[in-house]
C-alpha cells in the first residue's frame, strides 16, 4: 500500500475509512524513555540537524504505538535558525532569541529560505519516507503569527504583549514581518513535500490570543497565501492552533483541508463552525491521559462520537502529549481508536 491510500490520508480527504486514523502531536518526545535515552547530552537543535537521530526519534512512536502517521521530528524554529537568526531551544523553556526582531532593520535581516539552508531536512525526510513504507509522514512548520511571537518577544510569552503592540501600533512593520515569515514557511513546507512528506501541518499554536477581526486583518492574508502556495502539491494541508474556538471559521477560510481543534470546542460544534468541505483533527484533552484508563476510554469514545459530525475525522489530542504521560496509556488509546467501528 502507498501512503496516499492510508487511512490517515483518506480521512484528511474526507473519503471512507476502515478505521479512524490516529496520531498524536508531540508523540515523539520526553514522554518516551527511548527518546530521553537517545537525546542524552544532545542539544535539541543539534538533534534536529542530525538525520540519523531525526529518523530514529520520528520512528519511535510509530514502532511503539502503531499510529497511522509519523510527524517529522524537528521544531518550528529550525528554518529561522537556518537563515541565521541567533536562537536556541532551552530545555523546559522553549525557543529563546538572542536579539529580538523589533525594528525595520531587524525585519530586513530575515532573508528568504533556500533548500540549501536545510540539507539535513531534505535528507531526513527522504530517509524517513523509505523507512516508513506505507505509513505517511507529516511535514510541518510554524505559522507566521506564532513565529512572530517568538521573534518579537525573544522567547515564550503568556500574553504576547510586544507582539500585539507591533500588530496594533506598527501595522506596516507587522505586515512586512508577517510577509517574510510567510515566504519562509511556504518554502519550508514545500521542500518537505517535495522530499516526500505525505501531508503538511501548519502550527499556529498561539494565534488563539487574537480576536476574530484582528485575525482577519493581521493574520489571515498571510496564512491564506501559504495554503494557496501549497495548493498545487498533492498533499493534504492541516491547520492547527490552541484556543481558536472563535477563530475556527476564519481558519477554515485560510484554505487548509483539515482543521485541528483543541479540547475546548466539541467536534460537532467545530464541524458547524468550519462549514462544509473540511475534515477535523482532534481533540482529547492531553491531561485526560493522566487520569485512570477508564476515564481515558470514556472521554476518547465521546470524542469519536462527536467526530462523526465531521466529514472526515483524524483522532488526535487537543494539543501535544504532556511529558509526564505514561506511554502505555497512549498505546491502549491507539488500540481503542482502531477498534471502534466507523459505521
Q: Judge whether 28 is annotated as a binding position.
A: yes
Q: Yes or no: say if 327 and 31 are a contact pair by the CB < 8 Å rule.
A: yes
Answer yes or no whether residue 89 interacts with ligand CP3 by CB under 6 A.
yes
CB of 259: closest distance to ligand CP3 in angstroms?
Answer: 15
Is residue 218 involved in binding ligand CP3 (CB under 6 A)? Answer: no
Beta bridge partners of 284: 317
Q: Counting beta carbons within 10 angstroms of the beta carbon of residue 12, is it exposed (0 to 12), middle (13 to 18) or buried (19 or more)?
A: buried
- Strand 137-142 relative to strand 199-203, pairing: parallel
Whose cell is 467545530? That residue is 270
Residue whose grid cell is 465531521:
310
SS3 75: coil
Nearer to ligand CP3, 75 or 297 (CB): 75
237 assigned to active site: no
Q: Is 244 in the site for ligand CP3 (CB under 6 A)?
A: no
- Listed ranges 93-101, 160-168, 247-255, 303-311: which one lies at the site for ligand CP3 (CB under 6 A): 93-101
Binders in 113-152 for ligand CP3, by CB under 6 A:
140, 146
- Residue 41 interacting with ligand CP3 (CB under 6 A): no
- Does position 315 interact with ligand CP3 (CB under 6 A)? The reply is no
320 binds ligand CP3 (CB under 6 A): yes
Does the annotation place 224 within a ligand binding site?
Answer: no
CA-closest candidate to residue 331, choices 27, 54, 17, 58: 27
| Residue 14 or 201 with smaller CB distance to ligand CP3 | 201
Residue 315 is given by DSSP the state E
Kindly tell me which of 28 and 178 has the beta carbon lying closer to ligand CP3.
28
* 75 part of the active site: yes
Residue 190 CB neighbour total at 10 angstroms: 22
Tell me, yes or no, if 257 is annotated catalytic: no
Q: Which stretch binds ligand CP3 (CB under 6 A): 8-16, 86-94, 171-179, 266-274?
A: 86-94
Minimum CB distance to ligand CP3 smaller for 14 or for 67: 67
92 sits near ligand CP3 (criterion: CB under 6 A): yes
Task: Out of 7, 22, 67, 71, point to the residue binding ligand CP3 (CB under 6 A).
Answer: 71
User: Is there a binding annotation on residue 205?
Assistant: yes
Sign of the Cα pseudo-torsion (331, 60, 54, 337, in order):
negative
Other residues' Cβ atoms within 10 Å of the Cβ of residue 42: 12
| 170 lines the binding site for ligand CP3 (CB under 6 A) | no
Q: Is 267 helix (H, G, I), strand (E, B) or coil?
A: helix
13 noted as active-site residue:
no
What is the H or E stretch that residue 153 is in?
A: helix 144-153
Catalytic residue flag (residue 30) = yes
Q: Is 258 helix (H, G, I), strand (E, B) or coil?
A: strand
> Which grid cell is 184?
519562509
The one-character DSSP state at 87 is E
- What is the C-alpha to C-alpha distance for residues 24 and 54, in angstroms, rounded to an integer? 17
- Binding ligand CP3 by CB under 6 A: which of 13, 19, 30, 332? 30
Tell me: does residue 25 bind ligand CP3 (CB under 6 A): yes
From the candidates 35, 150, 188, 215, give the one annotated as an active-site residue: 150
Helix (H, G, I), strand (E, B) or coil at 202: strand
Report strand pairing: 258-260 vs 137-142. Answer: unpaired
Nearer to ligand CP3, 14 or 248 (CB): 248
Instruction: Name the β-bridge partners of 181.
Output: none
Return the number of the residue (14 or 281) whose C-beta is nearest ligand CP3.
Answer: 281
Binding site: what residues are annotated? 26-30, 75, 150, 205, 319
Residues forming contacts to ligand CP3 in the complex (CB under 6 A) are: 25-30, 39, 44, 71, 73, 75-76, 89, 91-95, 140, 146, 203, 205, 320
Binding site for substrate: what residues are annotated? 26-30, 75, 150, 205, 319
Residues with a catalytic annotation lie at 26, 30, 39, 75, 150
Amino acid at each position: 500500500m502507498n501512503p496516499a491510500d492510508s487511512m490517515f490520508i483518506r480521512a484528511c480527504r474526507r473519503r471512507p475509512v476502515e478505521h479512524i486514523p490516529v496520531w498524536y502531536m508531540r508523540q515523539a518526545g520526553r514522554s518516551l524513555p527511548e527518546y530521553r535515552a537517545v537525546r542524552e547530552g544532545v542539544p535539541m537543535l543539534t538533534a534536529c540537524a542530525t538525520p540519523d537521530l531525526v529518523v530514529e526519534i520520528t520512528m519511535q512512536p510509530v514502532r511503539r504505538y502503531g499510529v497511522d502517521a509519523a510527524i517529522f521530528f524537528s521544531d518550528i524554529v529550525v528554518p529561522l535558525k537556518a537563515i541565521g537568526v541567533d536562537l536556541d531551544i532551552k530545555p523546559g523553556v522553549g525557543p529563546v532569541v538572542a536579539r529580538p526582531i523589533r525594528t525595520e532593520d531587524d525585519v530586513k535581516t530575515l532573508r528568504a529560505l533556500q533548500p540549501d539552508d536545510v540539507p539535513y531536512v531534505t535528507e531526513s525526510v527522504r530517509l524517513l519516507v523509505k523507512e516508513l513504507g506505507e505509513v505517511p509522514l507529516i511535514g510541518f512548520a510554524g505559522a507566521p503569527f506564532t513565529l512572530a511571537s517568538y521573534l518579537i518577544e525573544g522567547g515564550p510569552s503568556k500574553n504576547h504583549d510586544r507582539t500585539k503592540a507591533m500588530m496594533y501600533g506598527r501595522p506596516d512593520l507587522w505586515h512586512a514581518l508577517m510577509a517574510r515569515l510567510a515566504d519562509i514557511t511556504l518554502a519550508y513546507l514545500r521542500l518537505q513535500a517535495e522530499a516526500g512528506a505525505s501531508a503538511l501541518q501548519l502550527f499556529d499554536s498561539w494565534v488563539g490570543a487574537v480576536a476574530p477581526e484582528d485575525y482577519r486583518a493581521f493574520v489571515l492574508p498571510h496564512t491564506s497565501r501559504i495554503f494557496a502556495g501549497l495548493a498545487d502539491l498533492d498533499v493534504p494541508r492541516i491547520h492547527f492552533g490552541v484556543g481558536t474556538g472563535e477563530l475556527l471559521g476564519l481558519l477554515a477560510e485560510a484554505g487548509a483541508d483539515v482543521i485541528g481543534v483543541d479540547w475546548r470546542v466539541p467536534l460537532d460544534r467545530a464541524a458547524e463552525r468550519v462549514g462544509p468541505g473540511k475534515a477535523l483533527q482532534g481533540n482529547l484533552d492531553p491531561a485526560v491521559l493522566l487520569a485512570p484508563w477508564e476515564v481515558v476510554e470514556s472521554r476518547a469514545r465521546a470524542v469519536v462520537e462527536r467526530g462523526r459530525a465531521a466529514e472526515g475525522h483524524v483522532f488526535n489530542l487537543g494539543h501535544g502529549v504532556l511529558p509526564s504521560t505514561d506511554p502505555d496509556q497512549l498505546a491502549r488509546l491507539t488500540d481503542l481508536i482502531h477498534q471502534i467501528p466507523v459505521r
